[in-house]
Amino acid sequence: MKIDILTLFPEMFEGFKNESIIKRAIEEKKVEINTCNFRDFAKNKHKKVDDTPYGGGAGMVLMCQPIFDAAESLKKENSKIILLTPQGKTYNQKMAYELSKEEHLILICGHYEGFDERIRSICDEEISIGDYVLTGGEIPAMVLTDSVTRLLPGVIDEESHQKDSFNDNLLDYPTYTKPRNYKGMKVPEVLLSGDHKKIDDWRRNEQLKVTSEKRPDLLNNKVSLKKQGIKENKRKIYLDDVKNIKVKEIKNKKTGIYKVFKDDAISAITILNPKKITGYKLKGKSKDDKLTKILIVKPSFISKIAMKNVRKKIDILTYRFNLALSQDDDDATGRVLGEAEMLKSMIISTYANYLGMENLDKIIKNINYLVSEFVKNKTLQNSFFTSEKKEQRTR
């Protein structure tokens, strides 16, 4: 693949092209990345590439002629010209895969207040990397170039990018390395089991859980839901105490009984028309005859239970802080501070959906306050002990 980048600041790309995977891909001739300063194509005496906008307004606007001529000098039969602009389609992993199949990309980096509208006429596609404004298109060009280059055959292990975040509209599963236990934070036992099926199932379930908590919008995507065997008008709710159970509101017209069945693919409860589910008991049996009934409750009730559980955990943490203050033990101090960080992470990952952002923010602030008070008291305590020991030595 060949990528040509039209920019007023080619020096910005020197470090980008000479580090890490991009450098290796260039050296191994997997990709050719060139920068072209379109100021070189300006025909006026001072090599000017911008001018004031017709109709008035703030800032300067990029002119047609230098960009048209620069693009024309690079364009071939198989070229795809992309304009990097906030008005373009929002970039995602699917687009990266599609662009990685092209033979030649020409990226136009905007700058200043904007560009002459007629420049759009030479472009095949317009792309934005997000709903915010940058000083120019150079950083978006690097983002696009990096994301496409890593997908080219032979640049990285194919398995690496097949399991990337956003494949199948899911975020990546958690990963761990040595040591097994760091400050009380342990690697999940399933990853140490050697059972690859269990590990694969755990990773898939974690992908669904993480995506549900952090990016539920991805799970609302029609393609994603279809791949997971879930109809478009359904929603997933994750509960800690329910594993590998999928509940479908399928009502038998004659008997009025709802069916419940086990689904190994998803650690979720899937319900139809969630607004109507306000405390119904769904009776049935799973394939292994272990499930007899399940109760779907109001979200407000779940929120109350979540808050109650969180308060209990904070009370336990407070008790351990007080215990550590009564001990002259650095290990105990390290452990309890580690527990505080773990508790914050657990609350964010497990209870965020049920507590609401306002409650979650108050809880995290509360824990941070407890930590700061503990550290302050521990510091005062240590200084007291140090001065007392010095006094004893002088006697």
Q: How far apart are CA 32 and CA 7, in angstroms?
A: 16
**Residue 72 contacts residue 113 (beta carbons within 8 Å):** no
Backbone phi and psi for residue 261, each to the nearest 5 degrees, phi listed first: -145, 160
Residue partners of 331: CB distance under 8 A and separation at least 6: none
Measured in whole angstroms, how far is the alpha carbon of residue 325 from the centre of its chain?
38
Cis bond leading into 179, ω under 30°? Answer: yes
Q: Which of 86, 174, 274, 299 is catalytic?
A: 86
Is 393 an annotated catalytic residue? Answer: no
**Residue 51 contacts residue 60 (beta carbons within 8 Å):** yes
Q: Which of 164, 168, 201, 341 is catalytic?
A: 164
Residue partners of 367: CB distance under 8 A and separation at least 6: 314, 317, 340, 343, 344
**Residue 310 contacts residue 347 (beta carbons within 8 Å):** yes
Is 159 an annotated catalytic residue? Answer: no
Q: Which of 69, 102, 113, 201 is catalytic?
A: 113
Is 150 an annotated catalytic residue? Answer: yes
Q: Which of 21, 34, 24, 193 is nearest to 105 (CA)?
A: 34
Residue partners of 45: CB distance under 8 A and separation at least 6: none
**Structure tokens of 281?**
């008991």
Q: How far apart are CA 346 and CA 367, in angstroms?
A: 12
Q: How far apart are CA 170 and CA 228, in angstroms?
A: 11
Backbone phi and psi for residue 111, each to the nearest 5 degrees, phi listed first: -165, 175
Is 69 an annotated catalytic residue? Answer: no
Q: How far apart are CA 143 and CA 263, in angstroms?
A: 39
Helix and strand counts by DSSP (H, E) for the chain: 13, 16
CA angle 291, 295, 297 (to 5 degrees): 155
Q: Which of 50, 150, 204, 263 is catalytic?
A: 150
Annotated catalytic sites, by residue? Answer: 86, 113, 150, 164
